[in-house]
Amino acid sequence: MKESLMEIIRCPIDKHELELAVEDREDGEIMAGMLSCPECGETYPIEDGIPNLLPPDMRDDAAA
């Protein structure tokens, strides 16, 4: 994902702005990292350049 996407993505639960921790960056795109919500404490991984912003209970279903 491009870092500019941070301007519009939000926590799916409370729509609060997210904090970004970058683990891997390629060609200006964030390929791996972690998004966290300072409001509810939930974390959302970025893998393969795609942030997983599913609500946590759905994320668990999707990973099953």
| Binding region for another protein (CB under 8 A) | 1-2, 5, 7-13, 15, 17, 29, 44, 48-55, 57-58, 61-62
Residue 49, helix vs strand vs coil: coil
Cβ proximity to another protein, 23 vs 60, nearer residue: 60
Amino acid in position 57: D
Burial class of 10 by CB neighbour count within 10 A (0 to 12, 13 to 18, 19+): middle
Distance in Å, CB of 15 to another protein, minimum: 7
Residue (41 or 62) nearer to another protein, CB: 62
User: Which residue, 7, 12, 16, is CA-closest to 38?
Assistant: 16
Min CB(38)–another protein separation in Å: 15
